[in-house]
Amino acid sequence: MASDAKVRFGRIRWPGDARAVVCVTIHVDGPAVEAGRGQNALGIHGRGSYALRRGIHRYLEMLDRHDVKATFFCCGYDAEHWPEPFFDISKAGHEIAAHGYQHEGFDLGEREPELLEKTHRILEGFGAAPVGWCSPSGRKSRLTLPTLRRLGYIYDASEKDEDIPYLLEDGFMILPNNTVSLDDFPMYFTGGASAAEVERNFVQEFDAALDRDGYVHLTVHPRAGGGSGTPARAAAVDRFLAHARATPGIRFMTCRELAEYCLSEPSRWQETRA
């Protein structure tokens, strides 16, 4: 495995000969999460509303300060009912990508294309039609990618089976995300980690990637509860961004920018996957 990693590293050429690329992805996960479960957004079920009230703007300020453009994965339900924060995301120059209608955590069956299309129509009203998608639950079916292709999508950020992007045979780009150690939600919600522990883990994963393939796909949630919307947890992400920004040879990219870069030389990513 070690020799394989060296071969793959030698084939990767990041934009501007960067040492590593960092994709910061913000999974908004507002009240859509609770709505999808049939819960009202009150009391203990109001944690998603925190993202719309505080979390999104906390991250917009943070990203602006670090001069980083991010990809915001957004649920159609949230953008449909509370559009103002999503217009703010678009005005700030960040990418808006799709993340389900009500953050569906169940198999949709034959309704899946309908909901993918509905979310697509909602999100394209915020400046540009989305070209990227991430499953809100990790589930995909035989209908998912054909529908996304038909709608003009170019990448999926749902897979967990690689350290680097790869190209499917039909030319669809996969940008894997590491939901074990570069995603705040499982560490807070399942692992009961502290903000300091999550920050340390992010930094360790980033530093390790520098000496290997150089792909860092960070996922944070601006909600309360299992996310990083609240002050101390957001501050941990802030310090991580400062660490990454201070590292020579780092290139921040939105998922769309990275997918387009990879698709500009498709044979390179087919070989890398092999």
pLDDT at 41: 82
Instruction: Decide the pairing of beta strands 155-156 and 71-74.
Output: unpaired
- Can you tell me the mean pLDDT for 14-38? 93
pLDDT at 169: 87
pLDDT at 189 over 90: no
d(C-alpha 15, C-alpha 202), whole Å: 23
pLDDT at 51: 97
- Can you tell me the mean pLDDT for 32-50? 88
pLDDT at 8 over 70: no
pLDDT at 166: 95
Q: pLDDT category, 5, cuts 50, 70, 90? A: very low
Please check whether residue 75 is in contact with residue 103, taking contact to mean a CB–CB distance below 8 angstroms: yes
Give me 252's structure tokens: 């921040």
Give me 221's structure tokens: 């949630």
pLDDT at 137 over 50: yes
pLDDT at 272: 56
pLDDT digits (tens, 9 = 90+) for 234-257: 999 999 999 999 999 999 999 999
Q: pLDDT category, 7, cuts 50, 70, 90? A: very low
- Can you tell me the mean pLDDT for 120-140? 95
pLDDT digits (tens, 9 = 90+) for 55-112: 999 999 999 999 999 999 999 999 999 999 999 999 999 999 999 999 997 778 888 9
Report percent pLDDT > 70 for the chain. 95
pLDDT at 269: 87
Q: How many residues does the chain have?
A: 274
pLDDT digits (tens, 9 = 90+) for 256-272: 999 999 999 998 887 55
pLDDT at 6: 33
Closest CA relative to residue 81, chosen from 132, 135, 125, 31: 31
∠ CA 120-179-1, nearest 5°, is 120
DSSP state at residue 107: -
pLDDT at 136 over 70: yes
pLDDT at 271: 57
d(C-alpha 191, C-alpha 182), whole Å: 13
Closest CA relative to residue 58, chosen from 244, 221, 251, 252: 221
d(C-alpha 212, C-alpha 215), whole Å: 9
